[in-house]
Amino acid sequence: MIKQVLLIFLICLVAACKNGTNKGVETSSQTELTTDEAQTIAKEAYIFAYPILMGYQAMYYSMVDSTSPGYRGDFNMFTHDTSPADHTRTDVVTMNADTPYSLMAMDLRSEPMVISVPEIKDRYYVIQFIDLFTHNFAYIGTRSTETEAGDYLFVGPKWKGDIPEGKFKKVFRSESELVTTIGRTQLLGKDDLPNVIAVQKELKAQPLSTFLGASKEKNAPQLDWIKLNPSDLTNSNFIDYFNFYLTLVEPFNEEDKPMLEKFEKIGIVPGAKFNPADYSPEILAVIESGVQEGLDEIKDKAGNIAEQVNGWNMMDAFGPREFFKGNHVLRAAAAMVGIYANDKIEAFYPMAYVDNNGEVLNGENKYIIHFNKDQIPPAKYFWSITMYNKKADGVGGYLIENELNRYLINSTSEGLVYDKDGGFTIYIQHEKPAANKVANWLPAPNEPFYLCLRIYGPEESAMNGNWKPPFIEKVKD
């Protein structure tokens, strides 16, 4: 009799385990979770997950979906832009058009990767490394590692092998198995492109075993990517994508564990599949509401992401995990306005959404920005001002198609006209201005837009707030 009872118990236990694994939320969470609690958790989870979701979209289009216009190729190999970004690039928002990109997604599951760079003294360059949370956890480049050649090792969160001594200038450890890698090489003018391409060709990525001339580690299994439907990233289906990526950030950082344990109540579990049928209609409805509340809060923060000075948001919203100090709304808003942007010390990004009257910038109007000589952005390397529409989500967007194929004005712009006192004026409008203003014209769309001022290698006056950009002045007809 006792054996029969034990057998029945074991059968029930196995069945319960299977149900829990397959359905994720069909346990006590269905009966114990109130609608208010589910809505609150969904909002918090969506804000936490938003940068991860936007990163999924960017990586899926660039590395997974070979039919995507932004498709780059396989993991663990650099691909290079042979020209600056233009209006056709819509894989991420607020792309720069100053520095042709060198892009790679590293997969560190099987073994570490070695990044090798040549000596680069004649121009600014930076290679930025971003984990799945969108934390900037490592840098190689002019500012961070200077101009010498070198080899750098990148190690995933689960790898336990030995690291040979004396082989690497630095060893970086990632919190995630996948790493977005973005190289930017300064373009010094239209005729300089061959020199940029020559630098790009010398960037090298290889597995540690190849670098050491040893036998190759066993390849990691193919990832079972979820086919991307962008609209799913703004509704309850976000849980599916979030759960997929959570398997790639284990073991969890101690800072995240309490929140992730709470998220389990609505089915957020590493590797679990999201199935709306597993939820009661009431719980599913409030999860949807929570997602929308989260999205609204992110948008609100994105529109007010930094201290405003003369109409510019003095952006300081990107960095490593330690920078955010658990502020997940800031992290999400940063991803919304300019995912994969650099730390302020690398590149300072004042963003402008309004004019001198506090009114939203719109190409139906005309504007000027006048820089006195002492207002010219204080950059160790270079500066630029770039124009964007808001077509991604009403906040962030893409470069503007225009008759000049001019997407920005920067410190190396050919033909930029300066005043006698060393200052200059930029003309911002949709229609082509008078001939004597065309050299300083930054074409605008006939709709709302925003501007990004980039200061590469900001001087101390920009870092401490003593330097202030000028207002964007609306021109009266």
Residue range 192-202: mean pLDDT, rounded: 96
First-last CA distance in the chain: 95
Question: How confident is the prediction for the chain on average, in pLDDT?
Answer: 92
CATH homologous superfamily of 67-212: Domain of unknown function DUF1254 (2.60.40.1610)
CB atoms within 10 A of CB 103: 21
Between 337 and 77, the more confident residue is: 77
Beta-sheet strand order (sheet of 367-371): 441-443, 424-429, 367-371, 473-474
pLDDT in the model for residue 70: 86
Contacts of 398 (CB under 8 A, 6+ apart): 87, 89, 90, 93, 95, 388, 389, 391, 392
Distance between CA atoms of residues 107 and 110, nearest Å: 8
| Helix and strand totals (H; E) in the chain | 11, 19
Give the three-class secondary structure for 74. coil
The helix or strand, by DSSP H or E, that contains position 321, with its residue range, turns out to be: helix 321-324
Least confident residue range of 239-243, 319-323, 394-398, 448-452? 394-398
Q: State pLDDT tens for residues 116-144.
A: 999 999 999 999 999 999 999 999 999 99
pLDDT in the model for residue 447: 97
Distance between CA atoms of residues 438 and 168, nearest Å: 50
Q: State pLDDT tens for residues 442-471.
A: 999 999 999 999 999 999 999 999 999 999
Residue with tokens 């060393």, as numbered in its chain: 422
Over pLDDT 70: what percentage of the chain? 94
- May I ask the CATH architecture of the domain 307-474? Sandwich (2.60)
Which spans in 339-473 are helix H?
Answer: 460-463
**Spans of all domains in the chain:** 2-55+229-300, 67-212, 307-474
